[in-house]
Amino acid sequence: MPKRSLAVLLLAMIGLPGSGMPALAREAGANELPAWTVQQPRHDRYLAAHGLRAFAGGYSEDGLEVWSFPLQIVSGYALEFVRGDGRVVRGIDVLDSARVDPLGFVRGYHGEGFHVSERIETRGMLPGVRVRLRVEGDPKLRVRARFEPSLNLMWPAGIGGQEFGWDASAHGLLFKEPSRHFAALVASPEAAAHSEPNNDRRGSTFGRPLFLEMDPTACGNARCATLVFAGQSETGEEVHATASALLAAPDAPLASDVVRFDDALHMRITTPDADANRALRWAQVALEQAWSCNARLGCGAVAGYGPSHGARRPQYAWYFAGDGLVATRALVQEGDFERASEELAFILRYQDPDSGMLWHELSQSAGFLHWTRDYPFMYVHVDIAFDFLPVLAGYVRASGDEALLRKHWPQVEAAWRYCLSTIDAGDGLPRVPGDKMSANEQDRLTDELTLSASWVEAADAMASMARSMGDPALASQAEADRDRARASVRARYRDNMHRRWISGFRRDGGPGESFSGADLAAIGSGAATRAEAAATFDRLASPDYLTGWGLRSKPSSAPDFDPEAYSRGSVWGLGTATAAEQMWRAGRAAQANALWLRLVPWAGQDAPGHMHEVESGERFVPQRESVPEQTWSSAAFLSAAIRGMLGLEVDASSHRLVFAPQPPATWQKLSVQGVRVGDSLVDLAWRREGAAAVLEVDNHGAPVELDWRQAGADAASPSTRMVPSGRSRWELPIH
């Protein structure tokens, strides 16, 4: 057995709580956590520390927000340095480096005669953030933290009556409100000078800027100070206890935090392209960093992180079921079945019990509101139920977790019935009710090609799941619905005269425009012919659509093309990755690889390791509304690589693995470690040797059926073989 297997992998069968799915326990700690260093962090670099219950993030030039979800503690956090003679140096003026890792980040400040290191981090499920400061040089230098107090809930909820005072015993500023349910504490054992409350008729508003100045104490050859931000929004939480826990925590990260990001516990893809490897690894990190826990709502994947819009709305740092499904698909592809299972259960938790409809949007403050009754955001997107069924079926197939399917089968059937309730009797395709919307939020069509294509996929998924549940009648009906829908897609949306696909129909009955997303949906549904698919892919390779950083959402020749608009000519990471995956599936590897590689620089553009939501369609800069840490951009990038470039598919019940690699022609080798196939763990090492492709497989478990579909191999060559435990090697001639 190879050395990695002995050092890293401990194969053991354990049960996933509440599930019949076998999981693999492996030894963690074999690799250091990844890190990303930024040399010019003063401008346009979004930095963040992501915790399960807490978060700190922002652009350094604007100041950071600090949250203990769903409570914003402060905004505008920044440092100043006070010299012995009273001169003040702004931190932003001497900030010269930043180093980001999955658990937090370090900012480095170099001024005349001093260096300050600032580590911002979270700990486990604690509702607070810790800042560790280390000062070298000037022995009289003090560190001053400035911020605006908030003590308020995430949009759209709110708290009134906030005030602050000095808590001498805690060495901190205590924020509170009359009900005493909510509180926050900003404290430091090294606290010295600080803001004082006042009752003056002017200049006494709660939200005015405050400061807390620290006099660091000796720590080896330097001087150190610690600052904590603790929040309280639930009975049983107490800010002083949280602050004490943050202060008492060791410098080294908690093992429970580290294991969430350990390389040894995740699929690892290694290619000859170091930048691609880094982007892939950080896409996996981004997926886990999106996992957020809310005391009232539960744990789920948030859609992304960015600076607040308006009143305490940190872009997409709350729950969207549609975004969660894109993330879940990537989790399934990389074999993180535990997280995928949790996200699927979280989505089902808030299903409409009356209609079976699945929800769209859930603010972190929804637990304090009559969210469904008073706000129009919960049950508005018909497409979520259609998208949910294929993702669930894909999860069950890859994980073998039929226990989860059995547990939630009544809810799955309810989601299916909701889909059926939208189907038009005339053509068997879904219609969008007048008070709802689908994926196209801008045009509000009565029906969409993308939704109809999703119906084809949903019906196919339901047929598969119904058979697993022992309901052949339902399976047969779902297959009939699928076949009818596929035929109807072509009849309704294909404009043969102009040789194009229509995206949908407006409320007045007129046809919508044609755009690449609809064309790709037609291909995915099976409605497009090979010639039509080829024409679409050729068109996407033209300068009208293709930029050096991805595909425009609308061609530059369109009358209403606007490269700076959110959806009328900008470049989406999600759309680009989805198109690349379709190209790989169609056997257009060269085009797919070239397109996917255009996304790699996104990971280093703004938030280190993360990908923006959308870029300008004219130049490689973020579109002005874009979220710097968009979960589905990272998820789609990862999914496209695994399902498209690597061609990996897992069927746990049959212990079967498909491997159909289509890497760039310049790549002579690649490897994939940690592919979960039932109760086995498989490592693949592929390379080109002259006129042959060589595959070495290390199987750390029971025998696996491998279907190696090698592009360029003789069609007569056997593609399927049994892989026993241990190492196996095969070679195929290629041309």
Question: Tokens 């280390």 — which residue?
Answer: 134
Domain CATH for 502: 1.50.10.10
Q: What is the pLDDT of residues 592-629, one digit of tens each?
A: 999 999 999 999 999 999 999 999 999 999 999 999 99
Kindly tell me if the per-residue pLDDT of 584 is higher than 80.
yes
Both 370 and 446 in a single domain?
yes
Residues 530 and 447 in one domain: yes
- Angle (CA) 283-286-287 rounded to 5° is 90
Residue 712 lies in a domain: yes
Lowest-confidence segment of 87-101, 263-277, 294-308, 418-432 by average pLDDT:
263-277
Residues whose CB falls within 8 Å of the CB of residue 409, separated by 6 or more in sequence, listed in order:
469
pLDDT for the residue 312 = 87
Q: What are residue 505's DSSP bridge partners? A: 447, 511
Q: How far apart are CA 526 and CA 529, in angstroms?
A: 8
Residue 254: alpha-carbon gap to chain centroid: 23
Residues 131 and 79 sit within 8 Å (Cβ to Cβ): no
Single-letter residue type at 232: Q
Does 293 map to a domain?
Answer: no
Secondary structure letter of residue 704 according to DSSP: E
Domain match, 323 and 413 both? yes
Closest CA to 77 of 35, 130, 115: 130
The neighbouring-strand residues paired with 111 are 114
Confidence of residue 172 (pLDDT cuts 50, 70, 90): very high
Question: 331 and 225, same structural domain?
Answer: no
393-405: b (≥16 Cβ within 10 Å) or e:
bbbbbbbbbbbbb
Nearest to 94 by CA among 147, 148, 141: 141
What is residue 290's predicted lDDT score, i.e. its pLDDT? 98
349-360 average pLDDT score: 98
Mean confidence (pLDDT) of the chain: 93
Comparing 431 with 437, the larger pLDDT belongs to: 431
- Does residue 42 share a domain with residue 20? no
Residue 70 in this model has a pLDDT that exceeds 50: yes
Q: Which of 600, 616, 641 is the last residue of a domain?
A: 600
pLDDT of residue 17: 35
Domain span at 10: 3-27+650-733
pLDDT average, residue stretch 64-87: 97
Determine the straight-line distance between the first and last CA of the chain, rounded to whole angstroms.
33
Q: Would the pLDDT of 101 be above 90?
A: yes
- Last-in-domain residue among 600, 634, 658: 600
Cβ pair 407, 18 in contact under 8 A: yes
Q: Encoding tokens for residue 561?
A: 């093309």
Q: Which two tokens stand for residue 327?
A: 């993330």
Three-state DSSP class for residue 368:
helix
Is the pLDDT at 6 greater than 60? The verdict is no
Domain boundary among 561, 585, 600: 600
Q: Classify residue 94: in a domain, yes or no.
A: yes
Residue 273 lies inside a defined structural domain of this protein: no
Q: Which residues of 582-598 are buried (b: 16+ CB within 10 A; e: fewer)?
A: bbbbbebbebbbebbbb
Q: Are residues 22 and 40 in the same domain?
A: no
Q: Are residues 17 and 65 in the same domain?
A: no
Q: Is the pLDDT of residue 221 over 80?
A: yes
Q: Contact 648/633 with Cβ under 8 angstroms? A: no
Judge if 222 and 105 occupy the same domain. yes
Give mean pLDDT, residues 142-165.
97
List pLDDT tens digits, range 7-52.
233 233 223 334 444 444 344 444 589 999 998 999 999 999 999 9
pLDDT of residue 120: 99
Burial class of residue 463 in the structure, from the number of CB atoms within 10 Å of its CB (0-12 exposed, 13-18 middle, 19+ buried)? buried
The token duo for 647 is 């061609």
- pLDDT higher than threshold 60 for residue 136: yes
- 59 and 208 belong to one structural domain: yes
Whether 484 and 550 share a structural domain: yes
What's the CA gap between 139 and 84, in Å, rounded? 9
For the cut 60, the answer to whether the pLDDT of residue 567 exceeds it is yes
pLDDT for 9 equals 30
Say whether 367 sits in a helix, a strand or coil.
helix
Asked if the structure places residue 285 within a domain, the reply is no
Lowest mean pLDDT among 190-194, 543-547, 655-659, 712-716: 712-716
Residue 279: inside a domain, yes or no?
Answer: no
**What pLDDT, on the 0 to 100 scale, is given for residue 716?**
66
Mean pLDDT for 100-125 is 98
Specify the DSSP element, H or E, that contains 730.
strand 726-733
The share of the chain scoring above pLDDT 90, in percent, equals: 86
Structure tokens at 266: 């995740």
pLDDT digits (tens, 9 = 90+) for 630-670: 999 999 999 999 999 999 999 999 999 999 999 999 999 99
Q: Could you tell me if residue 721 is inside a domain? A: yes
Same domain, 462 and 334: yes
In a domain, 616, yes or no: no
- The reported pLDDT for the residue numbered 93 is 98
Q: What does the pLDDT read at residue 693?
A: 96
* Confidence check: pLDDT of 235 > 70: yes
The number of distinct structural domains making up the chain is 3
CATH at 726: 2.60.420
One domain for residues 22 and 50: no
